[in-house]
Amino acid sequence: MFETTAEKMAQVGVIPVITVKDVDSTLETAAKAIEKGIGAVEITFRTNDGNPGYRMIAETIKKVRENFPGLMVGAGTVINAELAEMAKDAGAEFIVSPGLNPSTVEWCIDNKMPVFPGVATPSEVELALSYGLTHLKFFPAEALGGIKMLKALSGPFPQIKFMPTGGINEENYVAYRELKNVFCVGGSWVLN
């Protein structure tokens, strides 16, 4: 399920994670991604401002999509179905979440919205499989054992591909990308 989107993300290889400060600076960051030849970004729903902050982030996603139609734009840190709906309405092309919230995953599946929920344990991988998901976020990658953990997960779950994030940086991302069960990596260092 959602393999076409995952294939596009795999072609990009490294997905920059953008935390929104305001619309203008995010548009500048998106322009920098285009200049560097990066074809996708993940704009996160990280805010301490509650619903007004979430609305501003959704508006930012919409503006990035309008200004950079060739850039694949996903929404990250989507922690509930309401944010998934807000992201989709703003034009996000995929959803990434730090964990596996069944109501968020079910909403995304019901609404044909590609979703890449975060997993940290074999039990969460099995839950994702029960939804038909085979491409998952592995978070927080470095804190969970990083490459060693991903190699260990490849044995019982050969059908699963991961997008590790959390502790991925310019020193270690190549080693992650070389793993057979990694389809792309995410990180905030890319556009800094």
Which one of 42, 88, 93, 161 is the catalytic residue? 42
Active site residue 137: yes
* Residue written as token pair 């990066």: 38
Which one of 88, 93, 137, 161 is the catalytic residue? 137
CA–CA gap between residue 111 and residue 98 (Å, rounded): 20
Give the amino acid at 77.
T
CA 177 to chain CA centroid, Å, is 15
Helical spans, DSSP H, in the chain: 3-12, 23-35, 50-67, 81-90, 102-110, 122-130, 146-154, 173-177
Q: Which residues are identified as catalytic?
A: 42, 137
